[in-house]
Structures are given as C-alpha cells and as structure tokens.
Amino acid sequence: MRLRSKIKNYTQLTKESMDAVIAPHTAFVRKIVWRSRWKMELSQEQDLVKKERKLLLIKAVHTVVWVFYNVVIFYLLYAVLTNRIDKWVWICLGLIALEGLVLLVFNKMCPITVVARRYSDSNRDNFDIFLPNWLARHNKAIYTSIVLISVLILIYRLVLA
C-alpha cells in the first residue's frame, strides 16, 4: 500500500521502485530456496548412506558365501588327495555343480554381484566382496582350476579302485 501511494503511474516503475517491492520478500524466498536445497541434499545423503549400508551387507554375505565355497572346494581337494572318498565328496561335487549352473544362468556372473550393482557404480572387481582386487579378478580361473584338478584326481582314484 505504501508503494502505491508513492507511485502514481505503474507504467513508470523503475528498478529502484521494483527493488522496494521485492526486497522485503527476497530474504523469505531465499530462506525457502535454501531449505528446499538443504532438504534435497539431506535426502540425497541419506539415500547414499542407505546404499552404502546395503552394499556393506551384500559384501558381507558375498564374502561368507565365498568362504563357504572355499571350504567345499578345498575339502574336495583334500579328500581326493588323501583318498577319503565319502558322501561328502559327492555333496561337494553337487554344490559345485549347483554353483556352476547358477553362474551359467546369470551369464558367468554371481547373482550377488548383480544385486550389488544396484548400489554401486564401481568398476573394481572387488566392489561387492571383501577380497583383494587381484583375487576377485581371477577368482573363477583359480577355483575352476582347483576343481578340475580335484575331479581329475577323483576320476583317477575311482578308476584304480
């Protein structure tokens, strides 16, 4: 109202008179914009923390599964080297075959890695497991070799028996 009384002709508004109208409201508008940006940044940070926690859980689960299959593979190797071929050898072979089938279905990629990709865009081979990068990179080649050697020794033991 005060501005109307000061300005008689609205077509003759100057920059100074416009600033007089807008100036009292700019602090309020800035505060609203700042709050919305802050809330958006906070929300993004919370989403990032949630993703990191989920990825940490996935890494832990993946590492436990990896350790389990290490036990399976090295038991198989131990059993065939010591000629202790029992029901556990066949259970190990079944578990390894199941793992191979899962890897074939998921295009030579662990399904846990597929899930972990949702929470990370890392290009590292160990982004989804607590392993050194070189071991994560060569994991399939190393353990496939150990399994093949174990199976060859098993066949040798069974043929000679």
pTM: predicted TM-score of the whole model, two decimal places: 0.74
The answer, yes or no, to whether residue 5 has pLDDT greater than 70, is no
- The percentage of residues in the chain with a pLDDT greater than 90, rounded to a whole number, is 66
The answer, yes or no, to whether residue 39 has pLDDT greater than 90, is no
The residue among 143 and 21 whose pLDDT is bigger is 143
Question: Going by C-beta distance under 8 Å and a sequence separation of 6 or more, which residues neighbour residue 133?
Answer: 124, 125, 126
Residue 43, pLDDT score: 81
User: The tokens of 37 are what?
Assistant: 């940006």
Among the ranges given (22-26, 31-35, 137-141, 149-153), the one the predictor scored with the smallest mean pLDDT: 22-26
Q: What is the pLDDT of residues 76-112, one digit of tens each?
A: 999 999 999 999 999 999 999 999 999 999 999 999 9
**pLDDT bucket at 31, cuts 50 / 70 / 90:** low
Q: Can you tell me the mean pLDDT for 54-79? A: 97
Backbone angles phi, psi at 109, to 5 degrees: -130, 140
Q: Is 147 exposed, middle or buried (0-12, 13-18, 19+ CB in 10 A)?
A: buried
Average pLDDT of the residues of the chain: 86
